[in-house]
Amino acid sequence: MRFFLIFFCIVIYSFCHAEESRIEHFTLYSKSLGELREITVYIPENFKSENSYKTIFCTDGQFIDEKYKNKLDSIFNVKNVSPFVIIGIHSNKMEIIDSHFGYRYFEYIEDAMSDDSDLNSRFERHLDFFVNEVDQYIKEVFKLKINSKYFYGVSNGAGFGVSLSKYYPELFSKYIIYSMAGGNYKNLKWDTQNYPYFIIRYGKDELKPFKKSSREFSKYLSSKGYKHLSGIYYGGHKREDWLNQFIKDIVFIGISTEKE
């Protein structure tokens, strides 16, 4: 009887003192870009630094807000879906004077050209920031232990992921890309037995160029014998539509990785 009471008290204490999920914001200086950059991190409920977590690195990290938090909280209470940590690397939203494009475009699109040498080198320097500097910061400052790494990006951010996979094919095991714009996969050569798995989506109500680029990339992967998943979601080129599909794919990944 005494043992039961002690056990019951421990359970009640743990329930009452469970650490809630949270969103935290960080600022780090990028040596590659020569400027301060922001990161938003989603930390799941009862996060413990001694544990290792499946982690998603995403472009346009400013999208990770309370809507994402609430949706993620709801699925991580579902059986067989273990918590993820989401690392949102913010894009550079600054506009370029006398240009139709912003810094984001030149950081995400590999073959973007300009008369400005700084802009022409932006993709390469941002790639180094995304791949090396953020990873080092997360491990050293945030003390995060990662057991599996995934990529998530939309529009030009999705195109950046495709280009990234060409240079670092073993960095992320799975890529979630929506409404792909840009992306350099020319001469893409992965090991046919060990290559990243792509989940490619585009909206039913999107403009034709986004549908076309996604279909062509899927067709290219098929021609090379690389297995992947391609499909349509209901909606257009909108944050809310991307979020709704992202949650569905997170459940898919969360369950599938349990079986790996």
What six digits make up the tokens of 102? Answer: 């912003």
Tell me what pLDDT residue 197 has. 96
pLDDT band per the 50, 70, 90 thresholds, residue 69: very high
**Across the chain, what does the average pLDDT equal?**
89
Q: Is residue 208 part of a domain?
A: no
Tell me which residue range forms the domain holding 160.
22-197+236-258
Q: Is residue 221 part of a domain?
A: no
pLDDT in tens, 112-156: 877 778 888 999 999 999 999 999 999 888 789 999 999 999 999
Q: CA Rg, the chain, in Å?
A: 20
Strands 52-58 and 84-89, sheet pairing: parallel
Q: What is the CATH number of the domain that holds 161?
A: 3.40.50.1820
Determine the Cα–Cα distance for residues 172 and 195; give it in Å rounded to an integer: 9
Tell me what pLDDT residue 174 has. 96
Instruction: Work out how many domains the chain is built from and give that number.
Output: 1
Among residues 61, 55, 181, 36, which one has the least CA distance to residue 109?
Answer: 181
Share of the chain above pLDDT 90, in %: 73
Least confident of 76-80, 135-139, 169-173: 76-80
Q: Is residue 10 part of a domain?
A: no
pLDDT in tens, 183-204: 999 888 899 889 999 999 999 9
Tell me what pLDDT residue 258 has. 52
pLDDT in tens, 3-34: 444 333 333 333 344 689 999 999 999 999 99
Beta bridge partners of 52: 145
pLDDT in tens, 214-258: 999 999 999 999 999 999 999 999 999 999 999 999 998 876 655
Tell me what pLDDT residue 246 has. 96
What six digits make up the tokens of 254? Answer: 């969360």
Tell me what pLDDT residue 18 has. 62
Tell me what pLDDT residue 11 has. 36
